[in-house]
Amino acid sequence: MPRIRVAACQSNTVVGDLDGNVSRTLAALAAAERSGADLAVFPELTVTGYPPEDLLGRPAFVEDNLAAFATVAAATGECAAVVGYVDVAPSGRLLNAAALCRGGQVLARYVKRILPNYGVFDEQRWFAAGEGGATLVEVAGIPVGITICEDMWFPGGPMADQAEAGARLLVNLNASPYSRGRREERLAVLGERAAETGCAIVYVNQVGGQDELVFDGASLVVDAGGSVVAGARQFAEDVLIADLDVDVGAPTPGRPSPVLASGATRAGGDGPLRPVAEVLDPVAEVYGALVLGTRDYLAKNGFTDAVIGLSGGIDSSLVAAIAVDAVGPDHVHGVAMPSRYSSEGSVTDAEVLAANLGIDLVGAPIEPAHRAFTAMLHPLLGGDPVGLTDENLQSRIRGVLLMALSNARGWIVLTTGNKSEMATGYSTLYGDSAGGFAVIKDVSKTLVYELCHHRNARAGSDLIPVAVLDKPPSAELRPDQRDDESLPPYSVLDPVMAGYVEADRSADDLVAEGFDPEAVARVVGLVDRAEYKRRQMPPGVRISGKAFGKDRRMPITNHYRSVHRAPSGPAATDQSPTVV
């Protein structure tokens, strides 16, 4: 039975960094060559990074991408390499393409046939779809078919066509963003395609952060029975080397002969050279995504340091822990900005947290600025600011201080709002929402608690103080304020929010599923009215199947309301303004 040694080259590419992506590709290819691999497979759009978005509208970018791809192709040696790039059709349309190169030559090309156009994907905006036909290459005596990402997800699709044409090994180049449960979905689809085609599959995924998206890597090699032979690490670059024994069977008369890429295998030894890497549990997986997304956003955009307003609350504590894990304690700076309404614990808990994390913390009480603004506003308002006006004023003073530090020091401000707050508008425009990156904007409040407990368990100590975890959530913008005075309890809010936002359930659907009608009407009303706020929020790490931003694009001006239609009459809806 022929044996092939494959290298799944899980690269952290950077969109638009053509020279850097070429260097990363050649370094991984050199590692594959040293390992004796017959075939190295790289992620989707290896050369440009994914997604290149409207850079593709610039002819110079497309031309430079082709030149960069030619550099990679010319550098290939004995190990064949499958590399993703942007090609141009004779019609001038752009193509999401991959090519198999060996010995400095391009031996075969493939164009992605199924272009996703949902969620975070807009590929039909940029690319033309490839047409039918299966181009096969023979590597180490094994007929190999090439596909790209979405091509794998449909029965009777390109993989089935390639197997029908005689392929016995299928390689699939991916830029598949992380979301919770995504690895299990991939495993299920890989099993289905292996069963359908009778082929072994090499699934290679990009890794790294790109704006809101995080790519988790977790590349996989499965045999013809769908069993996992080898698996790469999650959230880290990797060159996964594995040996596969592939039953090629007898040649079928009438089938075209594949392009010959290499002859005898270079593989040796028994079985895979790399076992399946440790798989993180679901909460650790989310934490890893948040750390990688934060690290790469800062590094790829030229920031070395971050500054965070530490209130002694759970959200800012979690963001600080993530930032320290992302860039190190010497590059994270905390600012405590107590007001006249802050509890003593808000300062002491921030001090304990900072000491535990090893970050510096400075104090900047906002009372002098609060008094000054109150005096300035008195003649404009005909009295001192009260209610929401006064609460938001305090938050905006804090935003001004943090942004001033950002300007003066070159630090990026990490905001601390969670998805529950983003959904309901429980935040202050130009206050706690002001900053450069919103680390936990796609993390519900209930998941915030889980992540904090996970981080403490990993530390083996109360890295995030118990007092932070135990205190009732509060913005502390008025005396004795608690979140559950303005919002439903998070145990109620979060499931309703997830159903409405992430699963696109209607209010009636949610009530039919057993949720309280009043809670549904209240949460849905808050979510709908807060769209204008969310549009002004900074980007942040996407960890769910539908995050605010690229995924969910609701019109701001929108008079449709999904409210529960009670059988006895019109639904009662919460018409109160967004909370803060």
Q: How far apart (Å, rounded) are the C-alpha atoms in residues 26 and 32?
A: 10
What is the DSSP annotation of 29-57?
HHHHHHTT-SEEE--TTTTT-S--GGGGG
Backbone dihedral angles phi then psi of residue 283, each to the nearest 5 degrees: -75, -40
Task: Report d(CA 5, CA 13) in Å as an integer.
Answer: 24
Q: Which member of 9, 79, 112, 533 is catalytic?
A: 112
Q: Which helix (H) or strand (E) holds 380?
A: helix 367-381
Token readout for 249 is 């069977």
Alpha-carbon distance of 538 to 429, in angstroms, equals 11
How many angstroms separate the CA atoms of 154 and 377, rounded? 61
Residue of 334, 429, 439, 347 lying closest to 391 (CA atoms):
429
Do residues 236 and 217 lie in contact, with contact meaning Cβ atoms separated by under 8 Å?
yes
| The amino acid at 551 | D
d(CA 474, CA 478): 10
CA-wise closest residue to 308 among 412, 449, 187, 173: 412
Verify whether residue 44 is a known catalytic residue: yes
Q: What is the spatial distance between Cα 153 and Cα 171, in angstroms, rounded to a whole number?
A: 13
Give the Cα separation of 498 and 496 in Å (integer): 5
Q: Could you list the beta-strand ranges (E) of 390-429.
A: 412-415
Q: Determine the residue type at 225.
A: G
Residues 6+ apart with CB under 8 A from 369: 397, 400, 401
Q: Identify whether 150 is a catalytic site residue.
A: no
Active-site residue, from 149, 150, 441, 546: 149
User: How far lies 231's CA from each of 213, 228, 240, 279, 407, in Å?
Assistant: 22, 7, 7, 9, 44
- Spatial CA neighbour of 277 closest among 333, 221, 323: 221
Q: Find, among 256, 271, 388, 404, the residue nearest to 335 by Cα.
A: 404
- Whole-angstrom distance, CA of residue 191 vs CA of residue 384: 66
- 44, 138, 150, 391: the catalytic one is 44
112 is catalytic: yes
Terminal-to-terminal C-alpha distance of the chain = 67
In one letter, which amino acid is 91?
S
d(Cα 147, Cα 122) in Å, to the nearest integer? 19
> Tokens 């590059």 identify what position?
331
Catalytic residues: 44, 112, 149
